[in-house]
Structure 1
Amino acid sequence: MENLNTSTQNNTSIPSMPQIPRILPLKQVIHYTGLSSTTIYDMLDKKSNRYDSTFPIQVKLSKGRVGWVESEIAEWLNNKIRARAH
């Protein structure tokens, strides 16, 4: 009986699931940032005077469909918040 308990205790750990990034569509990026779609795409355009190299680049999901990594948008917003204190 003692051996059964020992082997049961050793097998109780559950392997961790891989972290799946959440992808936000443009509408949610607009909602979270308060920016318009035009401003967002201008911030991604190196030729635009509104270009922002710190703004997260979209991920191409399929032909005609893109999204943004939620954690990258959150980090960008947090950096903006921290920058206002300086």
Structure 2
Amino acid sequence: MNDNNRLIGIREVMNLTSLSLTFIKRLRREGTFPRAVPLGDRRIGFIEREVCEWIDARIAARAVA
């Protein structure tokens, strides 16, 4: 595994994005947030690079608006 595909937990996603768990779940249902990687029966992870790219896209959209 390389750093580009590092998996992070939901708590770290919340810290990176400053979003609540409820809002992240809503974005996931809408299909507008990076897809989770199933890790076990009740555990998911997210690819850090994809979450950072999602954040960068939000920042870029601000410049256009």
User: What TM-score does the superposition give when structure 1 sets the normalisation length?
Assistant: 0.67
User: Between Structure 1 and Structure 2, how many residues are aligned?
Assistant: 63
Q: Report runs of 4+ in structure 1 exceeding 2 Å deviation.
A: none
2:18 alignment partner AA: G
2:2 alignment partner AA: Q
Q: Of the candidates 40, 64, 67, which is equivalent to residue 24 of structure 2?
A: 40
Bigger CA radius of gyration: 1
Of structures 1 and 2, the one scoring higher in RCO (CA 8 A, sep 6+) is 2
State the shift of 1:54 in Å.
3.0
User: What TM-score does the superposition give when structure 2 sets the normalisation length?
Assistant: 0.87
* Structure 2 gaps, min length 5: none
Q: Render the CA deviation track for 1:51-77: whole Å, top value 9, x for unaligned.
A: 3x3310111011111011000000000
The DSSP-based 3-state class of the residue aligned with 1:67 is strand
Q: Is residue 23–residue 67 contact of structure 1 (8 Å, CA) maintained in 2?
A: yes
2:61 aligned with 1:77: no
CA-based RMSD of the aligned residues comes to: 1.3
Identity %: 35
- The structure that is strand-richer by fraction is 2
- The structure that is helix-richer by fraction is 2
Q: Which residue of 2 aligns with 1:62?
A: 40
